[in-house]
Structure formats: structure tokens, C-alpha cells
């Protein structure tokens, strides 16, 4: 693996899931791989799980870790080519990427959607520029449109808990008070399309994901109908793609509770965290035996380790 | 030792002080103990000595360290159970604690008093919630009501410098321009009650510590009277407990100077730092041979190392 | 080497450059030197290259690294002696320096010019105070008037790319939209005076560097004239020293472009980064084969490693 920006950088998804599960069993078996190598983690946005799990995974592999909060630790970066830099951005990504690529063997980047400009967000300029100029492998720590380390952790979790060969997985929109990016939903959908599952999406009308992410998954606008027989219920809020970045409906009746879960086939509840309790999903579901949210988060360490391991092997 | 939240988690205070002094002599003797283990340090508030000394101590023991500024590196945490999370807090402590407990073998937390609500501060909700949900040992890096790593460093310092078997130790209130928490004073008092010292508290009327911390220590409202014959003068400002969080008196005459120190029995001056010079204590005292403030701060490394060592031994 | 605050702390500049080039070839050859030792990095200002390159260099040498953003991670420091500390600064440098000197074997500090008070900036109080009170070697990560780790990286870069024994090096002022410190220009000048080069300075009238830094270098107010025959063009903006901190001229015609570079003797373009493209220098120059800016930045790792190595050898 060279870069890890999306599922399209993965050669063999099953092998990567297996590598994650192997890392979970013997976390320090590959500690020599990262010896005398360094990963730089650049955060354009806040991070809790991703920050910690990626650092943990890197150190499990013997890597040194350098973390940087862009814009507070250092300065803002200009992403556009050809501009006269007489504004607030003191440094161009051409230099910043090339320089960090000289100091670090791998560079992880987190840069969220602004939700102000669909075309700009979906162009993923930050990642394209870093991939172009850093000269080293780039790892997506959540971009405007994707969160592949989360999606891989989700696949690992499903692999651990599935009871049937081809489980039914339902991605369901949940209510929220703020407009959120589509990244996690996009990415999960993209990874499910590469997995041996029956994949269904449910959301209120107007929340259709971008076609390149939704793919040919059935979209059901009746949540109860969609949940029937589910083995895994994957909850997430996202703002509208077509009316970009907008909240179209309060949707309080889309919150997952015990009654909704009882429609499933003893299904598990999944969510990438953070999750707003009693707004997106009830305490009773989150605290019940069917919730996988902590296991999912814990698997972030093993998804990062599987990815970094494969990158290190190809350096 | 499982958790380290207060002196009540300590089985044998003398043994812990001795472990600190041993670490000071041979800092790297236990470097194998932390091998392939990680401590997470969560800062809800600023930190200088605690941040550095805890990281140093952890690394002396072979631990990996992950530090996190909650609220800037990551997001705010909801501490209340059962609420509908439709406000500013994006994540519940139930998830945050459980997740960091999956990534880290030990979790250190700093979370100060707000001084707005006595009952809330003294309930120490942040620490109770993390202890309840993290599933790993929690270390108090200063809570609303206590600063036990400081208190242990103070005990180590007194052990190093005492010239009599049972020295007289005076905790004295000092003037300040801002309302400060009672945590350091509370904690010091609590640890002195477990130590073989003659312990006296002096402060202007109205600054009585909470009864569970003051215990049965004599409270003398005349500072000069209290300082007589002291072997250790422990200075600190705190705001009122009864008129919670208020400054009741400017108290400029409570500043420690050479004249005050001359009332003692060749006593040492102690303060936990940071200290405001010439407001709480004069330059001449701080820069004189009787000041132990730097040694006290340096001993923070050994107090943290003694505590982390004992926790690692019990994992 | 004890402290590294300026070129005056360097015994043998050629040997230090050679040590940097040796580190570049075999980065991990001295990994034992830093074993069980720690460097503390204190940032009073933002940092990207310096933060990462110094951490990299330290870890190459086996050092542990503790980074601290002063004022956000911890609190503001009072630098003046003898004051009554009843303002916004909670801690005095006497304590902060002494304490970090007890925790760390080496302390690196970044503290920029305020550009508000020439005498204060040029007194370099922060560094004098830390040198006085820390009790351990201090490394300048950019001070109000100097950036010696950058200057050493520049010397390493010139040593790598020079084609003649005694190249012509031109320091040229470049336009900018904000008043910037003189530190990089001062420092570069100071180091060039110790190097076997023909050194020339060019800038608009009024931008004369402080005499102790400019030394006896010829100052040419006609940029084209100065560039003639140059082997290295070192671009940088700085605000006026005499009319302290002011921008005296927009100076758009001082931007380096291909036409200007064609006046040189096949000269290289150097700049310390960050650089504002198409304001200070054109895309075509930065992206062309004569630009050394990335190599210069990459050499920051080796300049830091050469300095830290020499300090470790003298501990």
C-alpha cells in the first residue's frame, strides 16, 4: 500500500481486516517495522479517538510520532496554486508538504469538510496537494468526504461479531442539532460495497449521499422498514448533500431506541463516536448488550495498525 | 494501588515516600515495568510542572505517553447521566472514558474547580465518572478539591529536609488577586494528617477549609503566632469555602517575608508553584537558602514515579 | 558546547557543518548519546519546521522530547526581576526555568520579537533569564534577534551546493505585507561573517540591520547591482530596525523572479520558509531547479542534530 486515502487504495480488504485482528491479538509482533522511522500527524481539526488510536498503533509498530495542530501549533496553509499570497495564509502547501515529507516517513492528515462549498469539499484539495507534494505515503485521518480508518475499524468489528456469512447491514441517518459532514456515511457505504454484506441505506428524503458513495445500495425512506431483519444498525447523522450542508428536518423520530432495535434480527448497534446520547440514540441502546460502539472505537487502534503496517512493509 | 485520587488510596505513606526517594536516586531502575504500556494524560486545564513531571516519570518507567488537551485537541465532554445531549458538549464521558481506557493502561486527569458551585466542585464528578467508566487506573493530576501528586512531593521534600523526628508544619494562607481553588491546601492538610508532624493551619477568618480536609488541625487566626517555632512554612492562597469561591480580604499583611520567617525555628519555606513573587512571598525569601520551592517542584517527578510504579506493579 | 544561542557559542563552525552532514548520512549513529536524557522544547510562538526538525533530531540521538506551548498548555511567564506580580503573569521565569532545568537535560526555547520595543527585543531577556536560571544548556529555537539553527542549516546547505571555494552570497530584502522580525536576517549575516564567502547585503534604504549584525558587509541599495554574479541569493523580509518594526516601503519591485535570478552566476535561491509565493518570490523561481528552499528546510534536522550532539558530548 502506498497512500491510504480511501477503500480504493486497498488491494485485499479481507486481508487488511485479518491483519487488524492479528494486531489485536499480538500488538507488538511487528515492533521492528517502524524502527528509526517517524509518522507525522497533522490535525487541521480536533481529534480524540483518531489522535490517540493512530499514535498507539504507530508506537506499537515501533514508529516515532510527531503530532501537529495546524493553525495553532503552526500556521495556516494556502492550498491554491498560483495565487499571490498576500492574505492570512503564511505558507503554501507545496512547501509544507515537501518539508514534512523530508522529516517524516509517513504523514497522516485530518481535514474536515467546511460544508460551505460542495465542489471544494468533494475535490479534497488538501489531500490531493499533500499526496502530490509530500513524496511519502499519506494516510487519511478523516477528510472532507471520507473516514477510511473508521470504516476499516467498522469492518473489523463486523467481522468479529457477525453470526451469519452475509449479514444485513443498515446505515441509518440519525437526528442532530448541527450540520455534520457526510464523510463517515460516505466512507462506510464505500467500504460496505466492497464487503460481503447485504447493505441498505435509510434516511429522510433529501439526505441522499453523493452517487459515487451511495452506489447501488437500496435506499429506503421508511426507517422501520429498513431495520427489519438487520444484523448491524450503523447510525450516523449527516447534512444534506444536494442542498449542501443544510439540515432539512429535525427528524426526532429517527432516534434509535429499544423499540426500533426490536425490529432487527437481534441486531447490534454501531456508531463511530462521538455520539450525542438521547438525541441520536437512547441511553438504553448505548448501554445495552447490543451496543458495539466501544468495541468499534477500540478497533480504531487495530485498523490504524493494519494500515500502517502495510505501508511500512511497502516502504 | 489501583486508582490514585487521594491519600485514601495509599496503603503505606512512608513506603510511598521511600519509593519516591529511591526513584530520585536511580530513576531508570524500573524501566521494564512500563514496557509496551501507555499512559494517557487528559488536561481539562493548563499544566506546566504536572505535565512535564508526569511525562518524565512515566518515561523513566518505560511507559509511552499520550497527552491530550480536552476541549482544544478534542471536544468538550458531557458529565451528567441521562441528559439529552443537544447542547455544546459533543461526547459523553461514558464513551470517552471507556474508549481511552481501551487505548491506555493508566489515565491521568487534570480538572480544576470552577469555583461557581461548591456542591458540584466537591462532588468531583469528572473523576468519579472516569473511575466508573474507564476500566483502568485513574491518576489525579489535580482535581477540584485535591492535588495528591503535589502533596506526595511535599511529603518527600519534608522527609528530605526535616531535622527533627516530628517537625512543626504550618500551612499558611497567602494573599492573591484572583480567587483560587482550595485543592492544594485541602490535599496538603489531608496528607499531613497521615504524616508524623505537628500540623497547624493559619488563615484569616472566613477561609476555613472544608471540615473533611481541615480535620482536627489547630486553626490559628494570628499568622505570627502560628509561625512560631515552625520547621516548615507551607504557603498557599485559596478562596473561601463557606462563601464559596470568594476573596474576603486583600490580606497584604499575610505575605511571607524575612521578618515572618525569623519567627520560625530556622524554618523552610514551601510553595507548590506557580507563585506570585512579592504578592504572596518576597523575593528575599524565595531566593534565600530556606526556600524549598524548586526542590519541591523537582520532587514532582519522583512523586509521580512512585505512584505510577505502584500502579504498574498492581496491573 | 554549553549553550547554543548564537554563532558566538560555536567553537569551530566548519566542524559543526561537517557534523551536520555526517548526521545526514548516518542519522542514528549517535543514538546512545541521548539515552535516558530529555530535551524540553518551550514554544512562546508558533512553530512548524523548528518543532518537527528539533524533535526529529533529538529522537535520532536517543533523547526523549517534551514539548510545551507556553501560554496555552501552561501559563504566561513574568520575565522582569523585582516586580510585584499582581498582573496577568502567574509564574516568574526564575521558577519556571529552574524547574524545567530539573526535569530536562537540555531546554530549547522559541520566543519572537514583539517589534514594539527595540531595546527590549534586542536585550533578549527571555534567553538571558533562562540561561541564568535553568542550570542546563539552552538552545535558541528562534529568539527576538537570532535564528541560529536556521543559519547553521543555511551553512550546511551552502556547503552542499557551492561550486566555488568562496561563493558570493547575497542577502536580499523581499517585500511583505506584515512587519516581520529581523532575526533571520541578523542571524544569517552573523554566520556569513564567520564563513568563507563573499557576503553582500541589499535592501531599500531604511532597512539597515543593527550594526552588530550587519558588521562590515557591503550594503548595496540597488538590488540588481547586488545580485550580479551571485552564487546564492538568500531572500528574506524584515521590518526596519532604526524605525523599529515599521514597514517603510511596499517594495513590490524587490520580489525575486526569473529576470532577477538571470543576473546571478547560475545562482541558487534560498529562503528559510515559510515563504509567501508571488509576493516575495515567484512560483517559477521556487519551483525551478535553482531553488534550495526544501533542501534548506530538510537540513534543519541535521543542524539541530549537530548542535544537540555537541551539547550531549559536553554534558
Please give the share of chain B, as a percent, with pLDDT higher than 70.
Answer: 100
What is the structure's pLDDT at C71? 77
Q: Inform me whether the C-beta atom of residue A155 falls under 8 Å from chain C C-beta atoms.
A: no
Q: Confirm or deny that A150 is annotated as ligand binding.
A: yes
Q: Inform me whether the C-beta atom of residue B24 falls under 8 Å from chain C C-beta atoms.
A: no
| Cα–Cα dist B142/B110, whole Å | 5
Mean pLDDT over all residues of chain C? Answer: 97
Query: What is the pLDDT confidence band of residue A264, given thresholds at 50, 70 and 90?
Result: very high
Mean pLDDT over all residues of chain A? Answer: 97
Average pLDDT on A281-298 reads 98
Query: What is the pLDDT confidence band of residue C218, given thresholds at 50, 70 and 90?
Result: very high
pLDDT digits (tens, 9 = 90+) for C42-71: 999 999 999 999 999 999 999 999 999 987
pLDDT digits (tens, 9 = 90+) for B146-174: 999 999 999 999 999 999 999 999 999 99
What is the structure's pLDDT at C79? 93
Do C82 and B294 lie within an 8 Å CB cutoff?
no
What is the structure's pLDDT at B188? 98
CB-CB neighbours of B273 under 10 Å: 20
How many CB pairs lie under 8 A apart between chains A and C?
A: 87
Residue B66 burial by Cβ neighbours in a 10 Å radius (0-12, 13-18, 19+): buried
What is the structure's pLDDT at C2? 95
pLDDT digits (tens, 9 = 90+) for C136-164: 999 999 999 999 999 999 999 999 999 99
Q: Give the mutation candidate from C79, C90, C95 for the B interface (greatest B CB count, under 10 A).
A: C95
pLDDT digits (tens, 9 = 90+) for B192-247: 999 999 999 999 999 999 999 999 999 999 999 999 999 999 999 999 999 999 99
Q: DSSP secondary-structure letter at B277?
A: B
Residue C161 burial by Cβ neighbours in a 10 Å radius (0-12, 13-18, 19+): middle
* Residues C28, C22 contacting (CB under 8 angstroms): no
Confidence check: pLDDT of B73 > 80: no
Do C278 and A103 lie within an 8 Å CB cutoff?
no
According to DSSP, the residues that pair with B78 across neighbouring strands are B92
Q: Inform me whether the C-beta atom of residue A26 falls under 8 Å from chain C C-beta atoms.
A: no
Q: Inform me whether the C-beta atom of residue B88 falls under 8 Å from chain A C-beta atoms.
A: no
Q: Please name each of the domains of chain B with its CATH number.
A: 7-146+300-313 (3.40.50.1370), 151-297 (3.40.50.1370)
Average pLDDT on B102-116 reads 97
Cα of C180 to nearest chain B Cα, Å: 28
Does the ipTM surpass 0.90?
Answer: yes
What is the structure's pLDDT at B135? 97
Nearest CB partner across the interface for B298, out of C64, C85, C102: C102
What is the structure's pLDDT at A53? 98
Do C278 and A64 lie within an 8 Å CB cutoff?
no
Q: DSSP secondary-structure letter at B9?
A: G
A-chain CB neighbours of C277 within 8 Å are 78, 83-85, 92, 94
B-chain CB neighbours of A278 within 8 Å are 82-85
Residue A36 in grid coordinates: 528509526
Confidence check: pLDDT of B71 > 80: no
| Cα–Cα dist A310/A278, whole Å | 39
Residue C70 in grid coordinates: 507556553
* Pairing mode of beta strands A168-173, A232-236: parallel
Strand ranges across the sheet with A219-220: A219-220, A198-202, A168-173, A232-236, A268-270
What is the structure's pLDDT at C76? 81
Q: Confirm or deny that A102 is annotated as ligand binding.
A: no
| Cα–Cα dist C298/C153, whole Å | 8
Do B72 and A27 lie within an 8 Å CB cutoff?
no
C-chain CB neighbours of B59 within 8 Å are 38, 64
Confidence check: pLDDT of C8 > 80: yes
What is the structure's pLDDT at C169? 98
Three-class SS of residue B15?
helix
Confidence check: pLDDT of A291 > 80: yes
Please give the share of chain C, as a percent, with pLDDT higher than 70.
Answer: 100
∠ at Cα B172 (B169, B175), nearest 5°?
A: 160
Q: Inform me whether the C-beta atom of residue A35 falls under 8 Å from chain C C-beta atoms.
A: no
* Residues C270, C296 contacting (CB under 8 angstroms): yes
Query: What is the pLDDT confidence band of residue B74, given thresholds at 50, 70 and 90?
Result: confident
How far lies A247's CA from each of A115, A143, A181, A243, in Å? Answer: 11, 20, 11, 9
What is the structure's pLDDT at A73? 75
Please report which residue ranges of chain C form alpha helices under DSSP H.
13-25, 49-60, 93-103, 118-123, 125-133, 148-161, 183-193, 211-214, 223-227, 258-261, 283-286, 293-313
Residue C252 burial by Cβ neighbours in a 10 Å radius (0-12, 13-18, 19+): exposed
What is the structure's pLDDT at A114? 94
Q: Inform me whether the C-beta atom of residue B313 falls under 8 Å from chain C C-beta atoms.
A: no
Query: What is the pLDDT confidence band of residue A163, given thresholds at 50, 70 and 90?
Result: very high
Q: Inform me whether the C-beta atom of residue A24 falls under 8 Å from chain B C-beta atoms.
A: no
How far lies C108's CA from each of B127, C5, C246, C305, in Å? Answer: 34, 10, 29, 13
Do B56 and C38 lie within an 8 Å CB cutoff?
yes
According to DSSP, the residues that pair with B199 across neighbouring strands are B169
pLDDT digits (tens, 9 = 90+) for C264-297: 999 999 999 999 999 999 999 999 999 999 999 9
pLDDT digits (tens, 9 = 90+) for A2-50: 999 999 999 999 999 999 999 999 999 999 999 999 999 999 999 999 9
Cα of A85 to nearest chain C Cα, Å: 5
Q: Inform me whether the C-beta atom of residue C38 falls under 8 Å from chain B C-beta atoms.
A: yes
Cα dihedral angle (B291, B297, B298, B301), rounded to 10 degrees? 160
Confidence check: pLDDT of C72 > 80: no
E strand residue ranges, chain B? 38-43, 64-69, 77-78, 91-92, 106-110, 138-140, 168-173, 198-202, 219-220, 232-236, 268-270
For chain A, positions 256-275, list CB contacts with chain B under 8 A: 273-275
Amino acid at each position: 500500500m502506498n497512500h491510504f486515502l480511501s477503500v480504493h487504495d486497498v488491494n485485499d480488504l479481507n486481508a487488511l481486516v485479518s491483519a487488524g485482528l492479528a494486531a489485536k491479538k499480538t500488538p507488538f509482533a511487528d515492533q521492528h517495522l517502524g524502527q528509526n522511522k517517524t509518522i507525522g500527524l497533522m490535525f487541521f481539526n480536533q481529534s480524540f479517538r483518531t489522535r490517540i488510536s493512530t499514535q498507539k498503533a504507530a508506537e506499537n509498530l515501533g514508529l516515532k510520532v510527531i503530532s501537529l495542530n495546524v493553525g495553532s501549533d503552526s500556521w495556516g496553509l494556502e492550498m491554491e496554486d498560483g495565487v499571490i499570497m498576500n492574505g492570512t495564509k503564511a505558507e503554501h502547501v507545496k512547501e509544507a508538504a515537501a518539508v514534512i515529507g523530508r522529516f517524516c516517513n509517513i504523514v497522516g492528515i485530518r481535514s474536515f469538510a467546511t460544508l460551505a462549498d460542495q465542489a471544494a469539499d468533494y475535490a479534497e484539495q488538501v489531500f490531493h496537494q499533500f499526496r502530490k507534494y509530500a513524496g511519502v505515503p499519506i494516510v487519511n485521518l478523516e477528510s472532507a468526504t471520507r473516514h477510511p480508518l473508521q470504516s476499516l475499524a467498522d469492518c473489523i468489528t463486523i467481522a468479529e461479531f457477525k453470526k451469519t456469512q452475509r449479514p444485513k447491514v443498515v446505515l441509518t441517518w440519525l437526528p442532530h442539532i448541527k450540520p455534520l459532514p457526510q464523510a463517515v456515511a460516505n466512507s462506510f457505504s464505500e467500504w460496505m460495497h466492497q464487503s460481503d454484506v447485504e447493505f441498505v441505506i435509510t434516511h429522510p428524503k433529501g439526505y441522499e449521499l453523493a452517487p459515487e458513495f451511495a452506489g447501488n445500495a437500496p435506499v429506503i425512506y421508511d426507517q422501520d422498514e429498513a431495520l427489519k431483519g438487520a444484523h448491524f444498525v450503523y447510525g450516523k447523522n449527516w447534512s444534506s448533500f444536494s442542498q449542501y450542508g443544510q439540515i432539512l428536518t429535525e427528524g426526532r423520530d429517527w432516534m434509535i431506541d429499544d423499540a426500533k432495535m426490536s425490529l432487527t434480527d437481534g441486531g447490534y448497534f454501531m456508531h463511530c463516536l462521538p455520539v450525542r446520547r438521547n438525541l441520536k440514540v437512547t441511553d438504553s441502546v448505548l448501554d445495552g448488550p447490543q451496543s458495539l460502539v466501544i468495541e468499534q472505537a477500540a478497533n480504531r487502534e487495530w485498523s490504524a495498525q493494519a494500515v500502517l503496517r502495510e505501508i511500512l512493509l511497502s516502504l
